Chain A
Amino acid sequence: MSAVVLDRVTFRYPASATAALVDISLVVNSGEIVALIGATGSGASTLLLVTAGLAPGGGVVGGELTGEVRRDGRAALLLPTPWTQVSGMAFTVWDEVAFGPANLGWPRERISESVDRSLTRVDVVHLRDRDPGTLSGGELQRVILAGVLAMEPAILLLDEPTAELDPAGAALVWRLIRELAQEGMAVVVATSDIDALPESVDRVVWLERGRVRTSGTTRQVLAGEDLWEPDAPGSTSIAGVWRRAGLPGPVPLTVPDLVSRAR
């Protein structure tokens, strides 16, 4: 079932001569994980804002949109900078995570269950009584992610969710994303963490100057030679090593790929 449908979407920020998104069509099904990759300014973050209904609209980001955006269910967006996402109304981590569900007017019992479950999923239960203002960037990013998950969205939009995290934290987030998709959530993630994609996402969309350059399965997109062009995002580290070594044949994307090829 389609959770997100973007049909020929073009978006221009106010007072901008060029469109940030041009003729984008994208369908994301429930239970599917789609990664958006691209160089800085490619439009991945804008695509998430448009998908969330925040651009244009909501009185926050202006602009002009043509085409159609359809969402089947509530969408939640995680922005890349955790300190700008703190609600300002919570003095403990538990309250911070409960901020979203409380805004939805849920009964307290449901809020409590959802918050406790989210804290556990993101492995921040030990922080529950801390003041959000005293957390590190990585801790805060996980707390905000817990807050987003506590709202039980049907569509999860993540903008560089692992940017503030250490390797263990990043691995946890990618595992969690996979679990959420298995539970039926549609996930769209804009990321520079290309190494994580082969084992974490179903499809990859490569954006270039607001347009879809290539889209397809992870292997179809990440094994392409054109990803190594100047201003392209590049592929996985393993694919890069393989390419630099001038080795022939299908490009391995992961360590297990490489090992199986070597054998």
Chain B
Amino acid sequence: MRGLHPFTLLTVAAALPALAWIGPAPWGGAAALSAAGVLVLSLGGRQSFRVARAAVFTATPLWFFLYLLQGSGGMLATGLRLTTMIAGGVWLVAVLPPPRLIEAMIAREWPVSVAFLLAATLSAIPALRARAGHLVDAQRSRGLRTRGGPLIRLAALRALALPLVLSALHEVDERAMALETRGFDPQVRRTPLAPPPDSLAQRISRWGLVLSCVALLVWRIA
């Protein structure tokens, strides 16, 4: 599964919730969720367990709120669809490393700025988390209490969020200069370093999935 082209994986992850939402409730959602379950199980071993656990933990509160809002019928119809979306998303994260997706985008001559936006967002998360850790240490060394009840934590959050945001903003100019000096130019075609292999069968499969969604939509509207 991991060897598939990133666009194929993306298409599968997008098609499942699309089919779940377009198809008649609750069977459309049930069928799509079953397919998502098969994909999750195909990961094998502990990874299947981790992905399934993440999807269940995320979806369970939603089912609860749906029951309160819509009763059991609405909960089943919408819950199956939302769970399909969640399972598909978590499965995609597990099978598609961001660098492969970015390489695929660059190889297909997508705008470099789009690829950069995706990659920079993904790489910024751990960087910001690390910086937040440093800020917590710095603020605690200056006497800020970060542990305790919700009010204490809320007060600490304010003292942490401001320097985190300000430091990130402060770096924008320097980051832009660094990108420029290293030849980054959205107008110029970048060389893909390791373009993922694609095949005719995968391309046909992708289009097949897209057409299936369109056909189902037409059938439902008609």
Contacts and interface: CB of A to CB of B under 8 A. Distances in A.
A141 to B, nearest CB: 12
B108 interface: no
Contact of B115 (A61, A86, A89): A89
A79 interface: yes
A98 interface: yes
Interface in A129-162: 133, 147-148, 151
Nearest to B183: A103
A87 interface: yes
Given A105-B188, A133-B127, A133-B130, A87 B193 contact: no
Interface stretch (B11-19, B80-88, B140-148, B171-179): B171-179
Interface string A60-91: 11000000000000011101010111111111
A102 B123 contact: no
Contacts of A89: 102, 115-116, 119-120, 123
Residue among B97, B127, B189 with the most chain A CB within 10 A?
B127
B137 interface: no
Residue among B124, B181, B183, B192 with the most chain A CB within 10 A?
B181
Interface residues of A, number: 39
B99 interface: yes
B217 to A, nearest CB: 36
Contacts of B181: 52, 54, 75-77, 148
Nearest to B191: A102
A147 B178 CA distance: 11
A83 B128 CA distance: 11
Interface stretch (A33-41, A106-114, A193-201): A106-114
Contact of A54 (B119, B180, B188, B192): B180
Contact of B190 (A83, A105, A148): A105
A248 interface: no
Nearest to B117: A88
Interface in B82-129: 97-99, 102, 115-116, 119-120, 123-124, 126-127
Nearest to A144: B178
Interface residues of B, number: 33
A60 B173 CA distance: 6
A48 B112 CA distance: 27
Interface in B172-217: 173-185, 188-193
Interface string B131-161: 0000000000000000000000000000000
Residue among B123, B171, B182, B185 with the most chain A CB within 10 A?
B182
Contact of A91 (B123, B176, B190): B123
B190 to A, nearest CB: 5
A103 B188 contact: yes
B193 A104 contact: no
Residue among B116, B171, B185, B193 with the most chain A CB within 10 A?
B193
B116 to A, nearest CB: 6
Given A84-B174, A91-B123, 20 more contacts: A59-B176, A60-B176, A75-B181, A77-B181, A84-B178, A86-B127, A87-B178, A87-B184, A89-B119, A90-B119, A91-B98, A99-B184, A102-B191, A103-B183, A103-B184, A104-B183, A104-B188, A105-B188, A133-B127, A151-B182
7 contacts: A60-B180, A89-B120, A92-B99, A99-B182, A111-B193, A148-B181, A151-B182
